[in-house]
Structure 1
């Protein structure tokens, strides 16, 4: 019996050590996504599932946040390990300017470029708003606090000479809140940033006559000239119900961001897995068509060394 007990005890101890080793080998990743109604939220969930199912020793979950600005800060604190961010927000976070002046430069690198996303200025036919100038004196949501859409909105309003604290009745709504407010008539217009077509616009369009307001050419020119991470963009007339012509706006890049001290092999495995599972993400958003090395390797700040290694293996020359 003694010999049997020793054998069982040894087996149990061995099992415990093996279990502990397996547990230790698993890297837990949290992805900071965005609010319900945008592209970030479902895409973050899909990425977490793909990473968890890949044989790279990662267990990933997705966390709903107020998006870009919050995500940059969460990644910098290592509260989340991957964050989704608009380029305008990421640029400010990396250089410690604008909305991040009090934070200082955050230790961020790009993991991959996801897709371009146009800024939407959305209203309904009953408001009478047809131009950017028409929002003066109106109830306008500039985007959620902590969100990148608000950062971009402020850049646009600045170049248009519109003071958000004096010229409009400024609201700061999340995307779901903005949808409800537009449908109920509690707000006159909202600024949103997401890949087109956006679910939030389509939800409003199901009950109201949606109007997309174009940005003036001179405002677009000024915004792009002063913010090299932005590009002119047209939302084509076949994008949303009721559109009769293309709508001029600006587009921002959308990136996956990590801390610059993330383990190099981990970063390599993450970007490799995400890019090489592009077909799965196409089920979530057509914007995943941009998940190819040639496009995913275009950035505005430094890429993580692990990402650089992967893209260079794909024949991409990465600028140092």
Structure 2
């Protein structure tokens, strides 16, 4: 009798040990409180934990893109949120990651695009891109992502910001106020559609979104592979009656190349198929579809690629 009890106890302990061993613990590197990444991380962690795929996930507030790439590369986080420009540098070991070298990162999925907006008002007379010459234009805060992308666009257009523009370097809130007050003629912004900054200006002024010329789009995306052509569809903003062509930086989920295939498969499957739950937290999840999530600038993890293939989307994998 005692032997039977001991045997039963051993079996129970073995089952518990097996279950514990099967569970994959995942940390999601998100971003700072107040940004889009932070609430996304929270809802994603909850969905993974409740997804019946033996994953227990938590979200961690971080300094976003750069830190997340390094955390995932060192396996201190298993999923990281990052802008495409940062991801490309991390994958190739260039610019901000020159001292790191190439990091072992792969794409899990593309979350949403952040297109560059060139915003003016009807009273400035600016109707096309070339009209900004000689005007007072904010490129974004010095050193910020808005300004870096603005400079890439101006370079592709053959414009010198110091000679061809009356250059301003304003933060997004400062540029919004300046446009409303008429203290600048136009401003570059980078954010997902619809951007609250544009809507705030539109509340008191007639806003005009200026499209980028096709040749500028072609040049800047050829030189900077992390950028993608993007169209802000008409109706995205009040009184916007035409599509507006521009370029966008993507926002991606990245994983370590050593992540098990099944884990990567399960994660991307949950995020896309639970899109409606994520949209309760942020409207950007409207792009969590196989077609849009399968857009990449570096190779996808083979587990993610397997899911996309099942949905009829072929992606480059590694």
Offset, 1:277: 0.9
Offset, 1:213: 3.0
Q: Is the 8 A contact 2:26 2:77 kept in 1?
A: no
Q: How many residues align?
A: 299
CA–CA separation in structure 2 for the residues paired with 1:210 and 1:272: 39
Offset, 1:27: 1.2
2:139 match: secondary structure: strand
CA–CA separation in structure 1 for the residues paired with 2:142 and 2:274: 31
1:197-228 deviation line (CA, Å, top 9, x unaligned): 12343244335544423323332231133344
Match 1:63 to one of 61, 64, 72:
61
1:115 match: secondary structure: strand
Offset, 1:316: 4.8
Q: Is the 8 A contact 1:282 1:288 kept in 2?
A: yes
CA–CA separation in structure 2 for the residues paired with 1:78 and 1:150: 31
Instruction: Please list every run of 5 or more consecutive structure 2 residues that lacks an aligned counterpart in the other structure.
Output: 1-8
What does residue range 1-320 of structure 1 map to in structure 2 within 5 Å?
A: 25=23, 27-33=25-31, 36=34, 39-56=36-53, 57-63=55-61, 65=63, 67-123=64-120, 131=129, 133-134=132-133, 138-141=137-140, 145=144, 147=145, 149-163=146-160, 168-171=167-170, 173=171, 178-179=172-173, 181-183=175-177, 188=184, 189-285=186-282, 287-314=284-311, 316-320=313-317
Offset, 1:135: 7.2
CA–CA separation in structure 2 for the residues paired with 1:270 and 1:311: 12
Cα 1:209–1:104, aligned 2, differ >3 Å: closer, same or farther? farther
- Aligned-residue Cα RMSD (Å) equals 4.0
Q: Is the 8 A contact 1:68 1:84 kept in 2?
A: yes
Offset, 1:315: 5.6
Instruction: Please list every run of 5 or more consecutive structure 1 residues that lacks an aligned counterpart in the other structure.
Output: 1-10
Q: Is the 8 A contact 1:183 1:208 kept in 2?
A: no
1:28-56 deviation line (CA, Å, top 9, x unaligned): 4123246746x545433432332233233
Q: Name the TM-score, length of structure 2 as normaliser.
A: 0.73
1:241 match: secondary structure: coil
Cα 1:156–1:69, aligned 2, differ >3 Å: closer, same or farther? farther
CA–CA separation in structure 2 for the residues paired with 1:228 and 1:98: 14
Offset, 1:142: 5.0
Q: Name the TM-score, length of structure 1 as normaliser.
A: 0.72
CA–CA separation in structure 2 for the residues paired with 1:246 and 1:143: 29
CA–CA separation in structure 1 for the residues paired with 2:134 and 2:276: 41
